[in-house]
Amino acid sequence: MGADVIVGAQFGDEGKGKIVDTLVHRNNYEIVVRYNGGANAGHTVIFDGKTFKLHLVPSGIFKHGTICILGTGTVIDPVALVKEIADLEAAGVDVSGFRISNRAHLILPWHMILDKARECERDARAAESKSATTAIGTTGRGIGPCYETKAARIGIRMGDLKDDVVTTFLAKLDSMYRHFLHDLHLGEITLKRFNLPKLPEPDAVFRDILIAKNIGRFITDTDELTRAAWRSGKKILLEGAQATHLDIECGTYPFVSSSHATSAGACVGSGLPPTAIENVFAVAKAYTTRVGNGPFLTEQETEIGNLLRDRGHEFGTTTGRPRRCGWFDADLVRRACEINGAQKLIVTKLDVLTGLDEILLSTGCDAMGHPVYERFKGWDKLLTAVRVWNDLPHEAQKYLSRIEELSGARLAGVAIGPSREQIIWLD
Ligand code: IMP
């Protein structure tokens, strides 16, 4: 049996967390592996009237007996993770199936300070020269700097937390501290200028990390565990964070995150070979949103953009920032389906479009780089209780069928509300 992948087809926040939670219950996956990113992601899962906001732990944790893994490709703030696990346990969620890769890298306070300092510096430079900022609009969670120390081969891995030799661990911390202090010129002056804290000394970082020692019980060789599960025919779901167009290779560089968010990244980030992948599900919102800077062809800085933001509650789960909103960009999603080899497309938040007189969908650009729109008639029927395709208004069916046609993937599901039950399956 092969593994299935869930991947974002736009700029993130497509509702992947809800889809993972729903699919785990529908398809009975036994293992869920999150394969990239860190606490920059935010997943909201709603069931039994309760709302859970997750940043690190895979959404599969809500199905009893599922093994939920933070894979090799992820980067982990141990202090944030301890809190997330404590919150889940306090809500009565069984976390005994949770596992962390011994190869995943630790995000330390230094990574977060550098992330913020760089963004402030870019904004300040733009203000001085009265030009547009080159800031990426990161989540400030230290994601980019952590992948940098990983690539520079001075990173500290989760497996190191289990290391009983304190001196070895402290030596690693010390070497990374010197890297930040000297190589990256993160002197006090820069930090003071932007009101950022002084870099904590390695001893202080070590003391903070000690509270994370109790997550040692979850750390293991998850690559081996996942491959063994695959060999024995277990059902595996690989959960991507962020999205195709935020991927470090395929995204709108430099306005991207620093990980491999696509289905290709699902292999390196989970330890499975490419031949293990069976189904790839691309997830796209019925319109487009983006948080942070970077190109956005169909952005609506108008009343319609505000309306989508209000109705869709388009504020970042991690940072609370308002998301930029606009019409569906079919070419963006088509490219995502192609890059990821997605055979199946799941469209989310269709209900947000209810009540609009007219809905626009971009099929590409004209010679001037402006979007070329097709126009669709809207519908008034409330969709939240719809469970089968035939009960969707004819206008909604027409809009979705056109999205399916342009995407090159088969429409497999349509989400019409935030809770687990609010989804129409087409297969
Ligand atoms: P970073 O991942 O914090 O370095 O941020 C890089 C870019 O990716 C910024 O534009 C962020 O707003 C965006 N980003 C990171 N994670 C997410 C996410 O989970 N959803 C949407 N955008 C994200």
Q: What is the 3-state secondary structure (H, E, C) of 373-417?
A: EEEEECCCCCCCCCCCHHHCCHHHHHHHHHHHHHHCCEEEEEECC
- Taking the CA atoms of the chain, what radius of gyration do you get in angstroms? 22
Decide: 318 and 55 in contact? Cβ < 8 Å: yes
Dump pLDDT digits (tens) for 125-143. Answer: 888 888 888 899 999 999 9
CATH top-level class for 3-102+221-425?
alpha beta
Q: What CA–CA distance (Å, rounded) separates 101 from 35? A: 10
Distance between Cα 246 and ligand 1 center (Å): 7
Query: How distant is the alpha carbon of residue 48 from its chain centre?
Result: 24
Domain ranges for the chain: 3-102+221-425, 105-218
Distance between Cα 40 and ligand 1 center (Å): 6
Distance between Cα 74 and ligand 1 center (Å): 14
DSSP class of residue 317 equals T
291 lines ligand 1 (CB under 6 A): yes
173 lines ligand 1 (CB under 6 A): no
Q: What are phi and psi of 281, to 5 degrees?
A: -100, 120
Top pLDDT among 331 and 60 is at: 331
Residue in 36, 246, 258 to alter for ligand 1 test, most ligand atoms within 8 A of Cβ: 246
Helix 202-210 × helix 78-90 angle, to 10°: 20
13 lines ligand 1 (CB under 6 A): yes
> Does 316 score more than 80 pLDDT?
yes
> Does 147 score more than 70 pLDDT?
yes
The answer to whether the peptide bond before residue 78 is cis (omega within 30 degrees of 0) is no
135 lines ligand 1 (CB under 6 A): no
pLDDT at residue 336, rounded to an integer:
98
The pTM of the full predicted model, rounded to 2 decimals, is 0.95
pLDDT at residue 105, rounded to an integer:
97
226 lines ligand 1 (CB under 6 A): no
Q: Quick one: which atom of ligand 1 is closest to the CA of 138?
A: 5
Which of 52-61, 72-81, 188-197, 206-215 shows the highest mean pLDDT? 72-81
Q: Catalytic: 43?
A: yes
- Work out the pLDDT band at 165, boundaries 50, 70, 90: low
Instruction: Please state the rounded mean pLDDT for residues 212-228.
Output: 92
Instruction: Please state the rounded mean pLDDT for residues 291-317.
Output: 95
For tokens 């011994």, the residue is 102
CATH top-level class for 105-218?
mainly alpha
The number of residues in the chain equals 427
Burial of 279: CB neighbours in 10 Å, binned 0-12, 13-18, 19+:
middle
Q: Quick one: which atom of ligand 1 is closest to the CA of 40?
A: 16
